[in-house]
C-alpha cells in the first residue's frame, strides 16, 4: 500500500527536535493547507479568512458540536449556548455576536457535547452526564433546553444499590455502584443508529448508555491504564478509545454477546492521546497526541486491526481536538493554531 507524499509545512521550532519523533518522521507526510494562525505562515496563496467571531460566553469554550442550523458550544462555567445560522456562508461579519442564547446551564465545565434528534447530551467535569430536550420556538427560531435526566439516573442508581455485586471499589475506603463515573467525563460518542451513547472518563472506564431510557447498560473497568480522553465509534460497531497511557484501544460487542470486548490495541504515539476522529466510512482513523503528531491509521479489509499509513506534521504543541468533514481533517492545537488537511482519505488509499 502506497501513500501520497506531498509538501509539509514546518515552523522553526519544529525542526530542532525532530529526533524525538523519529517514529513519526519515518511515516509518509500527507498534504496540509497553511495553518490558520496567519502569523505562523505568511503564504501568498493562503485563502482562508475568518467569517465571523462568536461572542457571548462568559468563560472559555471547552466543547462544541453542530446540528442543522445551529452550533452548540459548552464552556468551562457549565453553560451551553446555541448559535443560529442559515449556512456558514451567511455569517454576518458585521454582526459578530450572531443570534445566540444560553439554552442550558449545568455544573462543572462542559467537556463534550453530542446530539441525537431533539436530545442534547453533555459531559461534565463534575462526573455527570446531563440529557437535555431541545425545544425550538419556531416563531423566533430560538431554542431553550429543558433537562430530561442526569446520568446515572436516580432509578438506575437505586436499582443497582441493593445488590452487593453492583458495587465497585473506587478508593481504599469507598465504594459506589458501577453505573457512576467517579472522575471527569471527558468525551461522548453516539452509535451509528444513535441508540447507544458511549462515555469515557478520567476514571479509566468506558460506559455504554441507552439513549431512550438512559440506563447504563455496561461499564468497562480499567479500560486503560490512565485517564481516557477520547472516544469515537464507527458504522460497523467498533468503538475507539484514546488515553493518556499512549494507547488507542478498539472495542466491539459481537452478536449475542452482552459486553464489549477488546479486539485490538494500537500503539504508535509516544505520549498521551487527546483526540480521535474517523472518516465517514470508518476505514481511516486519525489520532492526535501530546507529542504534536497526528497519526493516520487505515483498517485492513475485514479486520479490526489498523495499520499506520501516514503522519501529519506541522503543529508545534499538543494536538487537542480533531474533526473530519468530507475529505478535510481539522486539527486544533495548544500552539493556538488550527490546521486543515485535505485529500487525506483519498491519499491513504492511493
Q: Answer whether residue 147 is part of any domain.
A: yes
Set of cell numbers at residue 303: 479486520
Between residues 306 and 239, the one the model is more confident about: 239
Q: What is the mean pLDDT of the chain?
A: 80
300 part of a folded domain: yes
Query: In the predicted model, is pLDDT for residue 97 greater than 80?
Result: no
Between CA 316 and CA 14 the distance in angstroms is 6
Q: Judge whether 3 lies within some domain.
A: no
106 conformational bin, left if phi > 0, alpha if psi -120 to 50, beta if neither: beta
Average pLDDT (235-264) is 94
Contact 320, 275 (CB under 8 A): yes
Please list the alpha-helical segments (H only) found in 34-163: 154-161
Task: Please list, in sequence order, all residues whose beta carbon lies within 8 angstroms of the beta carbon of residue 131, skipping any fewer than 6 positions away.
Answer: 119, 120, 121, 147, 148, 149, 150, 151, 214
Within a domain: 23: no
Lowest mean pLDDT among 28-37, 110-119, 171-180: 28-37
Q: Is the pLDDT of residue 208 over 70?
A: yes
Classify residue 117: in a domain, yes or no.
yes
Mean pLDDT score, 15-41: 47
pLDDT of 42 over the 70 cut:
no
Cα separation, 345 vs 312, whole angstroms:
13
Per the structure, the count of domains in the chain is 1
For residue 10, being part of any structural domain is answered with no
Dihedral of CA atoms 161, 164, 170, 172 in degrees, nearest 10, equals 130
Indicate the range of 18-27, 107-116, 156-165 predicted with least confidence: 18-27
Residues 6+ apart with CB under 8 A from 78: 105, 106, 107, 108, 109, 110, 124
In a domain? residue 11? no
The C-alpha atoms of residue 251 and residue 90 are separated, in whole angstroms, by 41
CATH classification of the domain holding 185:
2.130.10.10
Give residue 130's domain range.
46-345
Residue 60 predicted with pLDDT over 90: no
Q: Is 160 helix (H, G, I), strand (E, B) or coil?
A: helix
Residue 128 lies in a domain: yes
Amino acid at each position: 500500500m502506497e501513500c501520497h507524499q506531498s509538501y509539509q509545512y514546518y515552523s522553526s521550532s519544529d525542526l530542532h527536535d525532530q529526533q524525538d519523533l523519529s517514529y513519526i518522521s519515518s511515516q509518509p507526510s500527507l498534504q496540509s493547507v497553511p495553518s490558520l494562525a496567519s502569523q505562523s505562515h505568511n503564504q501568498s496563496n493562503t485563502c482562508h479568512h475568518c467569517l465571523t467571531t462568536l461572542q457571548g460566553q462568559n468563560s472559555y469554550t471547552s466543547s462544541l458540536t453542530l446540528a442543522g442550523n445551529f452550533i452548540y458550544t459548552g464552556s468551562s462555567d457549565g453553560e451551553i449556548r446555541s448559535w443560529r445560522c442559515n449556512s456558514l456562508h451567511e455569517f454576518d461579519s458585521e454582526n459578530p455576536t450572531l443570534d445566540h442564547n444560553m439554552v442550558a446551564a449545568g455544573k462543572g465545565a462542559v467537556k463534550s457535547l453530542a446530539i441525537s434528534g431533539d436530545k442534547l447530551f453533555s459531559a461534565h467535569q463534575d462526573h455527570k452526564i446531563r440529557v437535555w430536550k431541545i425545544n425550538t420556538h419556531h416563531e423566533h427560531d430560538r431554542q431553550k433546553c429543558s433537562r430530561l435526566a442526569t446520568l446515572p439516573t436516580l432509578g438506575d442508581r437505586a436499582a443497582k444499590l441493593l445488590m452487593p455485586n453492583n458495587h465497585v471499589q473506587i478508593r481504599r475506603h469507598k465504594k459506589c455502584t458501577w453505573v457512576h463515573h467517579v472522575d471527569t467525563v471527558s468525551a461522548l460518542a453516539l452509535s451509528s443508529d444513535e441508540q447507544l451513547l458511549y462515555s469515557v472518563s478520567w476514571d479509566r472506564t468506558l460506559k455504554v448508555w441507552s439513549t431512550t431510557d438512559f440506563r447504563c447498560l455496561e461499564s468497562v473497568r480499567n479500560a486503560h491504564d490512565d485517564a481516557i480522553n477520547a472516544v469515537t465509534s464507527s458504522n460497523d460497531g467498533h468503538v475507539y478509545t484514546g488515553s493518556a497511557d499512549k494507547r488507542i484501544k478498539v472495542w466491539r460487542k459481537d452478536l449475542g454477546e452482552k459486553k464489549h470486548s477488546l479486539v485490538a490495541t494500537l500503539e504508535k504515539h509516544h505520549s498521551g492521546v487527546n483526540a480521535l476522529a474517523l472518516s465517514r466510512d470508518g476505514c481511516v482513523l486519525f489520532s492526535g497526541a501530546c507529542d504534536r503528531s497526528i497519526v493516520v491509521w487505515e483498517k485492513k479489509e475485514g479486520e479490526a486491526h489498523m495499520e499506520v499509513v501516514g503522519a501529519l506534521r506541522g503543529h508545534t504543541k499538543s494536538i487537542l481536538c480533531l474533526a473530519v468533514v468530507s475529505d478535510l481533517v481539522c486539527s486544533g492545537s495548544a500552539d493556538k493554531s488550527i490546521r486543515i488537511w485535505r485529500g487525506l482519505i483519498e491519499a491513504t488509499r492511493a
